[in-house]
């Protein structure tokens, strides 16, 4: 979880060349969601979640961790493809090619959804599952909009 937050908050913004401006209200809502979710996940995992001995070898944890890892790899690779769609100064819409974009039109969204469902399986907490569902609904609607 912390690795993703570190990547998304510190590394990803440095990689973006130019982007569309984000409305302030959207920024505030996203910030509040991330702060609340970060607190909820952290509190859940450090205070309430209990795991039996050998949990790191349990098939649920291993499958969830692999889902998280594969989802994150898809997400990072898809972001790389999207960042390099246009040459500097070029505008207009382009259809991404390569990677998971050969199979789904919103590969970056698909990767992040897979990532958080893997996280939920590895953690087996109601809070991580709620976050995965929120991710599915929020990014799923954005993916549908981008596909259209």
As a whole number of angstroms, the distance between CA 55 and CA 80 comes to 34
Please list the alpha-helical segments (H only) found in the chain. Answer: 2-6, 12-15, 24-43, 59-83, 107-123, 126-147
As a whole number of angstroms, the distance between CA 94 and CA 64 comes to 34
Q: What is the mean pLDDT of residues 33-56?
A: 93
pTM of the shown model: 0.86
pLDDT tens digits for range 70-129: 999 999 999 999 988 888 777 778 889 999 999 999 999 999 999 999 999 999 999 999
- Residue identified by tokens 């994150």 is 72
- Tokens representing 118 are 């893997």
CB 60 within 8 A of CB 39: no
- HSE toward the beta carbon, residue 1, CA cutoff 13 A: 21
pLDDT tens digits for range 5-30: 778 777 777 777 666 777 888 888 88
């Amino acid at each position: 979880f912390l690795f993703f937050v570190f990547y998304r908050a510190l590394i990803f913004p440095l990689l973006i060349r130019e982007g569309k401006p984000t409305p302030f209200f959207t920024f505030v809502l996203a910030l509040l969601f991330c702060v609340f979710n970060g607190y909820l996940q952290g509190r859940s995992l450090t205070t309430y979640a209990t795991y039996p001995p050998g949990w790191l070898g349990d098939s649920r944890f291993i499958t969830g961790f692999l889902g998280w890892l594969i989802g994150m790899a898809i997400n990072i690779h898809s972001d790389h493809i999207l960042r390099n769609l246009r040459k500097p100064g070029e505008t207009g819409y382009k259809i991404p090619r390569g990677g998971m974009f050969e199979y789904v039109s919103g590969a970056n969204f698909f990767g992040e959804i897979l990532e958080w469902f893997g996280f939920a399986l590895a953690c087996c907490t109601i809070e991580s599952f709620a976050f995965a569902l929120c991710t599915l609904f929020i990014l799923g609607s954005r993916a549908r909009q981008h596909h259209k």
